[in-house]
Amino acid sequence: MIRILVDPFPSDEALRSLWLKAWERRGPGSFQSILSRSLAHVGAYDDQTLVGFVNVAWDGGIHAFIVDTCVDPNHRRKGVASQMLKTAEEAARSRGAEWLHVDYEARLALLYESCGFHPTPAGLIALGA
Ligand SMILES: CC(C)(COP(=O)(O)OP(=O)(O)OC[C@H]1O[C@@H](n2cnc3c(N)ncnc32)[C@H](O)[C@@H]1OP(=O)(O)O)[C@@H](O)C(=O)NCCC(=O)NCCS
């Protein structure tokens, strides 16, 4: 059974391992400074192993932002991301955020819309490109 936890503060090692599987890249040098700035984060655990992650970034006010939604390929299409997103929504609301934003590729519209996100026009610049 998968456990969904708010603010589990996974180690860099656990996050790196998940990142390599889910994103096929290493991710940030250290995750800890990112977690410390978040309004919340959500982890999905299979026993002691981190198999899913959602970060809720924050502007310090009423806006919170879902980033880095990912699930280990061996645990996909079982509702893990959906459970994490609902938990992230509850955490953001209970901590005072009034708007929860996310951007995503069109292929993932069903995932986010089934979790209650309404599509809006949004903008994005790839600053590293
Ligand atoms: C996207 C991702 C987080 C989905 O995780 P998941 O746990 O498999 O998602 P869920 O099981 O909660 O999916 C719920 C519904 O969302 C939709 N969905 C999920 N993954 C999808 C995909 N890859 N393509 C299209 N629809 C998808 C489906 O409608 C699914 O319901 P179904 O399985 O009954 O068809 C996972 O595939 C992942 O980590 N991908 C790589 C990282 C990534 O692209 N993250 C998205 C950042 S915006």
pLDDT tens for each residue of 25-67: 999 999 999 999 999 999 999 999 999 999 999 999 999 999 9
pLDDT at position 66 is 98
Is this prediction's pTM over 0.85? Answer: yes
CA–CA distance, 75 with 60 (Å, rounded to integer):
33
- Residue whose CA is closest, atom 38 of ligand 1? 70
Pocket of ligand 1 (CB under 6 A): 22-23, 69-71, 76-82, 104, 107-108, 110-111, 114
Nearby residues of 75 by Cβ (< 8 Å), 6 or more positions away:
2, 44, 46, 51, 52
Of ligand 1's listed atoms, the one at least distance from the Cα of 77 is 11
Side chain identity, residue 112: Y
